[in-house]
Amino acid sequence: MTTVKAAVCTGFGAPLEIEDLHLRAPTRGEVEVTLEAVAICHSDISYADGAWGGDLPAVYGHEAAGRISALGDGVTGFAKGDRVVVTLIKSCGSCANCATGKPTICEGAQPEPSPLTRADGTQVVKAMNCGAFAERVVVDSTQIVKMPDDMPAESVALMACGVITGIGAVLNAGRLRPGEDVVVIGAGGVGLNAIQGARIGGARRIVAVDMSPEKLDDAMEFGATHGVLATSGEPWKQAFKALGRGADIVAVTVGAIPAYNDSLRYLGWGGRMVMVGMPASGAMAEYEPVVPAYMSQQMIGSKMGDVVIQRDIPWMADLYRQGRLKLDELVSNRWRLDQINEAIADTKTGKARRNVILFDK
C-alpha cells in the first residue's frame, strides 16, 4: 500500500481538497504509474461541478503522463521506468466493438473496485478509469501507450484526451477526405486539435467559429484558414461565404446547446455533423429533421475521437517529433497539485488552451 497526495472532490461545485490517500498495488493486468503531469480537461470540471452525476468522494483527472513504477501479473510489453501516456480508454479487446476497432465504446471491460482509500478505509472513486489528480495511479494496462523519452511530459499528457479527441473527431468519425471543407465550432483545447486534424488530413478550407476574437487568432495559428465570430449574427452565412459552399464536416467541440442548434446550418449537401462537446445531462437541442433527410446529411457521435490508442497515439507522437503537430503550444500554464483550484478557476475563464499540473514543479 502506497500513500499518495490527491485532489479529492468531496462535494459537487466545492473546491477540491488535497488529501493523503492509500493506493493499493496493481493486480493482474494492471500497472502503477508515477505521474509527471496531468492536464485539466473541461470534462473533469463538469464532473466536479455535478453536471453528469456520480459518486463522491472522487478523484478526477484523465489526461496524464508518467513512468511505470510497478506492474501486475500478466502485463507484457511494458517495463518499469517506461514513459507512458495514461488514458481513460479501458478495453476488453474481445467484445464486438473492440473486435471491430472501436475500443472507445467497449462493452466488455468490467468495473473494478477503486484502488484508492482514505486512512479510515473509505473508498474514493477513481473517476473516469484514471483518478489522475494524484501523484500515482493504478490503471489497466490497456489504458496506456509507451511514449518517447524526449517528449515533454506535459505534451505527452495532452495526447490522452484533448488531442486524440479533436483529431479523431475529424479524421476517424468525420472520415475527412482530402479537399473537403471543415467548420470547427469552438476553438478551445479540443477545437484547436480538430483544426489540426483537418489540416493534417488535407482539408481545403477550415473555418473556426468561436465567441472570442483571441481564440480565433489561436485557431489561425493552428491551421484555420478563416475565423468567424459566433456572436456576429447568423455566423453560418459568413462560413458559407468563406467556403463558397456548405461544409462537408462540422465538428461541434463545445457542450453549448446553441452551438448544437445551429450546427446543421453550416452543412452542405451530404455533409456530416460530428458531435464532440458534451452538454450537461438532460440538456436538449432542436433541429428540423426534414433538412438532413432531404440533403442526405449525417449526425455522428464521437467519443474520444473513435481512436485506437495503440495505433493512433504513436502516429500522432511521430507527427509531433516531425514538427507537424503542435503540442507544446497547447500548454497555457503549469501549476503544482496544491494549486489545482486556481488552475481550475483559470480554466473556467475560457482563456486557457490547457492548464497542466506538474508533479515535480
Closest CA to 143 of 326, 313, 7, 303: 313
Contacts of 284 (CB under 8 A, 6+ apart): 257
**Mean pLDDT across the stretch 185-199?**
96
Q: What is the signed CA dihedral for 229, 231, 236, 237, rounded to 10 degrees?
A: -90
Q: Output the pLDDT for position 59.
A: 97
Q: Output the pLDDT for position 361.
A: 63
Counting Cα atoms < 13 Å in the Cβ hemisphere of 162 gives 33
pLDDT tens for each residue of 117-150? 999 999 999 999 999 999 999 999 999 999 999 9
pLDDT tens for each residue of 64-91? 999 999 999 999 999 999 999 999 999 9
Measured distance CA(192)–CA(182) in Å, rounded: 13
The answer to whether the beta carbons of residues 60 and 44 sit under 8 Å apart is yes
What is the spatial order of strands in the sheet that 298-301 belongs to? Answer: 226-229, 206-210, 182-185, 247-252, 267-275, 298-301
Q: At 41, which amino acid appears?
A: C
Question: Residue 321 above 70 pLDDT?
Answer: yes
The C-alpha cell at 338 is 496544491
The C-alpha cell at 257 is 446547446
Question: Considering all CA atoms of the chain, what is the largest pairwise distance in Å, rounded to the nearest integer?
Answer: 64
Task: Quote the pTM value.
Answer: 0.94
pLDDT tens for each residue of 221-275? 999 999 999 998 899 999 999 999 999 999 999 999 999 999 999 999 999 999 9
- C-beta neighbour count of 205 within 10 angstroms: 19
Residue range(s) occupied by CATH 3.90.180.10 in the chain: 2-159+327-358
Counting Cα atoms < 13 Å in the Cβ hemisphere of 361 gives 19
Residue range(s) occupied by CATH 3.40.50.720 in the chain: 166-302
Whether omega for the bond prior to residue 57 falls within 30 degrees of 0, making it cis, is: yes
Measured distance CA(309)–CA(63) in Å, rounded: 13
User: Given this structure, which CATH class describes domain 166-302?
Assistant: alpha beta
Domain 2-159+327-358 fold is Quinone Oxidoreductase; Chain A, domain 1 (3.90.180)
Q: Output the pLDDT for position 276.
A: 96
The Cα-based distances of 168 to 88, 216, 242, 269 in angstroms read 15, 21, 24, 23
Measured distance CA(58)–CA(128) in Å, rounded: 10
pLDDT band at 281; cut points 50, 70, 90: confident
Q: Output the pLDDT for position 112.
A: 84
Ranking 232-236, 246-250, 293-297, 333-337 by mean pLDDT, the lowest is 232-236
β-partners of residue 227 are: 208
